[in-house]
Amino acid sequence: MDGTLDTPRAEAWIRTLATAVAAHEAELTALHAAIGDGDHGSNLRRGFDAVLAALGDVPAASPGALLTTTGSTLISRVGGASGPLYGSAFRAVGHALATPDEEPGSRPPTGAQALAAALAEGLAAVQRLGGAQPGDKTMVDAFAPAVDAFRAAAGSGTAAAAQAAATAARKGADATVPLVARKGRASYLGPRSAGHLDPGAVSTALLFEALAEACRED
């Protein structure tokens, strides 16, 4: 297979991301403490713990159903900005994988082109909610280049596209260091926000790195 996103791979994506969030909780918290409230790591950890519990309670029938559950759980269980933003992204991806007359997620395994479109819907949901654009020093600075890279590489299959997205997301996160924040609590610091990694961009890089791991070819 070319890494097509079937239900087991979608679950592996979320479980791998949950593991990464737990492993990087202290780092994400420290990054957020420098330019924000200092709760990004702990909020995401709590949210993904709840997601894992939800996935254990009700086995998902399809990738989209699983991702929709992930998003809804994050929205309902995580405080601050991270729950609504990440939850909206995952829920939008899940809904995008369903046909108009079906429940979210009832479509079978998702190929690279369909996943590219779904990830773009996830990005759009984040931008609608937060109003951020590339260059504002937010998760969008990692999410937008990841979506562009995935779309550009989709013709090579899901595994290759996911790896390209992961590389682009990490580069986008690293590129937030010199930026001055224009959205969120970090924007209150003005020029003092420069010189720091944006925690949301770093956690977004973890998201796409987890996707690449889950979609790696057998």
- Specify if 159 maps to a domain: yes
pLDDT at 106: 46
Confidence of residue 173 (pLDDT cuts 50, 70, 90): very high
Average pLDDT estimate for 109-136: 94
- Specify if 2 maps to a domain: no
Has residue 162 got a pLDDT over 90? Answer: yes
pLDDT at 190: 85
On average, the pLDDT of the chain sits at: 91
Q: In the chain, at which residue ranges do the beta strands (DSSP E only) sit?
A: none
The residue that leads in pLDDT, 20 or 98, is 20
In our burial notation (b when 16+ CB lie closer than 10 A, e otherwise), range 41-69 reads bbbbbbbbebbbebbeeeebebbbbbbbb
Domain containing residue 66: 7-214
CATH number of the CATH domain containing 72: 1.25.40.340
The Cα–Cα gap between 26 and 28 comes to 6
Pick the most confident of 44-58, 154-168, 180-194.
154-168
pLDDT at 103: 53
Cβ atoms of 84 and 129 within 8 Å: the answer is yes
- Specify if 112 maps to a domain: yes
- Specify if 152 maps to a domain: yes
- Specify if 1 maps to a domain: no
- Specify if 32 maps to a domain: yes
Number of domains in the chain: 1
